Amino acid sequence: MGSPEESPHLAIAVDIGGTFTDFVVYDHLDGHLSRLKVPSTPADPAHAVLDGLRRLAPTSSPSVIHGSTVATNALLERKGASTAFVTTKGFRDLLHLGRQTRGSLYDWFSGGVPVLVPSDQCLEVPERLDYRGHALMPLDEQCLPTLIAELRAKHVESVAVSLLFSFVNPEHERRLAQRLRASGFFVTASHELLPEFREFERASTTVVNAYVSPVLNRYLGTLERAIGGRSFHVMQSNGGRIQVTQARQEGVRSLLSGPAGGVVGAAYIGKLAGCSQLVTFDMGGTSTDVSVVNGTISLTSEALIAGLPVRVPVIDVHTVGAGGGSLARVDAGGALRVGPESAGADPGPACYGRGGRTATVTDANAVLGRLPSSGLLGGKLPLDLQAARQAVAKLVEELARFSGDSRCELEEAALGVLHVVNAEMERAIRVTSVERGHDPQDYVLLSFGGAGGGHACELARRLNVRRVLIPWAASTFSALGMLTADVSLDYVQTVLCSGETSFEELERRFVPVVERARADLATQGVAPDAHHVHCELDIRYHGQSFELSVPFVPAFRSAFDDAHARRYGYRNEDAAIEIVNLRVRAIGAVRRPRMETHPKGERDASCAVSREDRLVLPSGPRSVPFFDRHRLRPGHHLSGPAVIVQDDTTILLLETDDAHVDEYQNVMVTIGEARAEGG
């Protein structure tokens, strides 16, 4: 990446979604920002990526940052590499035992822990360390040829190595990993990825990485060869970027790269717009991702992805299977359901005219007149309204069969689809806000994703949120966010020491971790003057099972008491504390896009009205103005009901909503007092 003078002046961010692959291009010389959407190619995602890059930069060599769903899909669809798990003798059942917790306490039929590695591929080696890292039983290297032969006989491609107490003394694990790599296996060693206590979570994270990384490695290798000498970074789940060479080995760090890009972009644009407290709402084609930003982005090391614990830091994002392509159906009890199944990119919603026959959220919006009749993507994707009506008509027939009432109208069913999907997304926002002690009234709902603008105002009304911010590049916003992401590297080291440990002693223990972080930033191409290293402590009261992260400052004890009071509502300043982990985050600052500002002009937005058309609202059909967003200028004010049409998204303003365009061409909506039906 290098210093700003050495960086390529053209930067391209790529975000693969379930329906479209998004590109945002920024030219650092003239400040020009442009966007492109192409249909995703699920059979081989690289096709869409390379197609877009050829269109955008056929001759130049821009820097590229990529958010990929390849690792995510490999995990969700259980299409990862054939993986073996190797651990200390006597602990081969570790993955299957898990923590012996029940996700549904009163469900007698709840399944066990999802496991990526079958029992016959969970193998052992004779060795044992105690909790101080002293060898109770040396590693028996004479057994390794037999182990390697067994792995080959089982056609294993990737091996996850997680030995007991390797986070204290990695010597046994290092020697084992070296032998396996020399034998041609893709190896993930827990002491390299996550030198942290809690053997199950460490083993689970190591296995997830071993399972998805070979798939991501092949995909990124294909792209890297096709891209050639361009600077190539991959977005991580923690909101930072890393060079492709590291991403190919540590795929677990990129499982939530797309949603992470959106949250990073939201924090950046929100700050420019003067909004520090945000609920991010990213509604795409297949899913909706929500997160809370309280001045800073929330990270967690306790994520569950596809039911599996993943202990690497990730942005705290909650995802539900509700998007524009979510399929509507009638369940066995006659109730209307939407999602989580999606029409995807092929065939997509019925209104795309590619053979889809089942009603989706996008089809419901089309039937209700909420999408431009000229089509999407500036008319490049014409809408087949007749196909949309036929798909919703089938849904009406299904509802009538169950209810025996044939009076349900087409538009009434379409409104029902939107009501159901909005309720699902409302629950997702409440999980990340209300259930964690945040009052939505104190936040701005920042809406993005291709489908978000059509639902944001009604969701805000349901949640008593007073303002909605919809950025200019809403439908490609996750890709835009990736351009603003710094290089970010996370490190953890378990220490398990007394809270009486001196600040100076803790500083000494931080030294090797910080030195490694700075060395790794250098290998990422970050100039020394752009290095920033942040140190934290994981602390808990003596006897507690879990810890909180606080900044490493001389007054770390009071910082922990304050954090505990905020999280749990009480503090115990007389209790002893334990310092569990040292955490280091190394940041390499990058040159971000300069968001162009425009002077504010007149308030009257009537010049941006392209037509009046029929729109069906919960209160009934009426004729409303359709505004062309390309003709809206900073200072323009408009009132609902209205529809704002952009090439790749639409914004629905309800009856009592008012909106204005700010200097960055964001649309800021003030939500009126009336509440949506069912709100």
CA–CA separation, 325 vs 314, rounded Å?
26
Q: Are residues 466 and 521 in the same domain?
A: no
Q: Does 26 fall in a domain?
A: yes
The amino acid present at 97, given as its one-letter code, is L
Which carries the bigger pLDDT value, residue 91 or residue 597?
Answer: 91
Rounded to two decimals, what is the model's pTM?
Answer: 0.89
> Beta strands 609-617 and 620-628: pairing type?
antiparallel
Which carries the bigger pLDDT value, residue 342 or residue 379?
Answer: 342
The amino acid present at 439, given as its one-letter code, is D
Q: Does 2 fall in a domain?
A: no
pLDDT value at residue 92:
95
Q: Are residues 61 and 194 in the same domain?
A: no
Rounded mean pLDDT of 67-84?
Answer: 89
Percent of the chain with pLDDT over 70: 96
Q: Does 3 fall in a domain?
A: no
CB-CB contact of 566 with 526 (8 Å): no
Q: Are residues 102 and 31 in the same domain?
A: no
- Reported as a pLDDT band with limits 50, 70 and 90, residue 502 is very high
Rounded mean pLDDT of 153-173?
Answer: 97
The token pair at 44 is 């081989």
Among residues 564, 588, 612, the one where a domain terminates is: 588
User: Phi/psi of residue 274, each to 5°?
Assistant: 80, 25
Most confident of 71-85, 167-181, 439-453: 167-181
- Reported as a pLDDT band with limits 50, 70 and 90, residue 339 is confident
Q: Are residues 99 and 58 in the same domain?
A: no
The amino acid present at 633, given as its one-letter code, is R
User: Phi/psi of residue 123, each to 5°?
Assistant: -120, 165
pLDDT value at residue 406:
60
The amino acid present at 260, given as its one-letter code, is A
Q: Does 360 fall in a domain?
A: yes
Phi-psi category of 407—alpha, beta or left, where left has phi over 0 and alpha has psi -120 to 50? alpha
Q: Are residues 303 and 370 in the same domain?
A: yes
Q: Are residues 240 and 284 in the same domain?
A: no
pLDDT value at residue 404:
67
Q: What is the mean pLDDT of the chain?
A: 90
Q: What is the pLDDT of residues 283-314, one digit of tens each?
A: 988 889 999 999 889 898 888 888 889 999 99
Three-state SS string across 418-475, please? Answer: HHHHHHHHHHHHHHHCHHHCCCHHHCEEEEECCCHHHCHHHHHHHHCCCEEEECCCHH
The token pair at 579 is 């310092």
Rounded mean pLDDT of 74-87?
Answer: 93
Q: What is the pLDDT of residues 452-489, one digit of tens each?
A: 999 999 999 999 999 999 998 888 999 999 999 999 99
Q: Are residues 507 and 650 in the same domain?
A: no
By the 10 Å C-beta count (0-12 exposed, 13-18 middle, 19+ buried), 246 is classed as middle
pLDDT value at residue 3:
39
Q: Does 396 fall in a domain?
A: yes
The token pair at 521 is 């930033």
**Nearest alpha-carbon partner for 259 in 198, 315, 305:** 315
- Reported as a pLDDT band with limits 50, 70 and 90, residue 32 is confident
Q: Does 5 fall in a domain?
A: no
Q: Does 221 fall in a domain?
A: yes
pLDDT value at residue 8:
64
pLDDT value at residue 405:
64
Q: Are residues 111 and 40 in the same domain?
A: no
Among residues 588, 604, 620, the one where a domain terminates is: 588
- Reported as a pLDDT band with limits 50, 70 and 90, residue 609 is very high
pLDDT at 4 over 70: no
Rounded mean pLDDT of 65-94?
Answer: 92
> Beta strands 232-235 and 63-67: pairing type?
parallel
pLDDT value at residue 598:
86
Q: Are residues 416 and 289 in the same domain?
A: yes
CATH number of the CATH domain containing 238: 3.30.420.40
Domain limits for position 90: 79-211
**Nearest alpha-carbon partner for 639 in 599, 600, 618, 669:** 669
CA–CA separation, 653 vs 642, rounded Å?
5
- For residue 266, the Cα-to-chain-centroid distance in whole angstroms is 12
CA–CA separation, 324 vs 650, rounded Å?
12
Alpha helices by DSSP H, listed for 84-136, are 94-97
pLDDT at 354 over 50: yes
Q: Are residues 476 and 504 in the same domain?
A: no
Residue the block writes with tokens 């821009």: 62
Tally of domains within the chain: 4
Q: Are residues 89 and 197 in the same domain?
A: yes
From residue 403, give the alpha-carbon distance in Å to each of 336, 398, 408, 678: 11, 9, 10, 21
CA–CA separation, 254 vs 595, rounded Å?
27
pLDDT value at residue 674:
42
Q: Does 250 fall in a domain?
A: yes
Q: Are residues 309 and 426 in the same domain?
A: yes
Q: Among 39-48, 118-127, 206-215, 615-624, where is mean pLDDT lowest?
A: 39-48
For residue 235, list its beta bridge partners: 241
